[in-house]
Structure 1
């Protein structure tokens, strides 16, 4: 069974729109907080700091399944649904009060910020990602 990286992310008042729901664009912020926790904090716990040197997003895709209201934190579950030589796709599910509210994917590209260009995944990075890899998504 594939591991999922799971994080509870608080919903802030500033995430809300005029209708009293989390603004569609703020879903990206919630997903970003979970992704940063996985690739910076989670990877660092495994002795891996290279993701902190640069990852850029090549693509985002979001499906909104139901509105999310202000209140308790949302739970975001993440896994890697595609693993390539120089990119990987992170898939997400966002749960509000235990109910699936959104699905998303981000294509992530390791990036050498100093040189200003994409780079290949290192073997250590691939080893970190492999337990989270599932081409079936769940």
Structure 2
């Protein structure tokens, strides 16, 4: 990677890096849209674990988060061999029933943002599956990132 820093939308996002492989491509020869969603789910889960909330932690507090809506803007195609930096952060959280998580994917070779997206997450009771207010532990851990 060059010395030129990546231009994230927020200060200090959670980032994972991967290389696009042949298995990620669709019939058009570029990364399949469903693959991007899978990568976003993976980075969101890794970020949650890094914040102290894996599945066992959800069970311990009796609450978890489920996706309600995804909004994805595909800004440029990516291809086999492209090295991608996939970032996520909590974008909005008023500490009630829901929160928004944002994503940005930057291609390393040209520093281009190739995807921006958001997911609307709903806090649910781990036993009933019904929506519930976020426990205090969630409010403390899932704080919105600072904009750049």
TM-score range for the pair, normalised by the shorter chain length: 0.7 to 0.9
Q: Which residue of 2 aligns with 1:69?
A: 79
Give the structure-1-normalised TM-score: 0.81
In 2: Cα distance, 1:25 partner to 1:123 partner:
33
CA separation in 2, counterparts of 1:73 and 1:122?
37
Q: Which runs of 5+ in 2 are unaligned?
A: 1-9
Q: Quick check: which one's helix share is greater?
A: 1
Which of these two proteins has the greater Rg computed from alpha carbons? 2
Query: How do 1:75-86 and structure 2 match up within 5 A?
Result: 75-84=85-94, 85-86=96-97
The alignment's TM-score, normalised by the length of structure 2, stands at 0.77
Q: Report the Cα offset of residue 25 of structure 1.
A: 1.9
- Give the 3-state SS of the residue equivalent to 2:81 in structure 1: coil
Match of 1:7 in 2: 16
CA gap of 1:71–1:15, structure 2 versus 1, over 3 A, is same
Does the 8 Å CA contact 1:10/1:73 hold for their aligned counterparts? Answer: yes
Gaps of 5+ in 1: none
CA, structure 1 residues 20+81, in 2 after alignment: closer, same or farther (shift >3 Å)?
A: same
Structure 1 residue runs of 4+, over 4 Å off? none
Residue of 107, 114, 117 corresponding to 2:130: 117
Asked if 2 retains the 8 angstrom alpha-carbon contact of 1:9 and 1:30, the reply is no
Computed over aligned residues only, the root mean square deviation of the Cα atoms, in angstroms, reads 2.4
Of 56-65 and 113-122, the range deviating more from structure 2: 113-122
Return the alpha-carbon distance in structure 2 between the equivalents of residues 124 and 10 of structure 1.
34
Match of 1:34 in 2: 43
Counterpart residue number, 1:49: 57
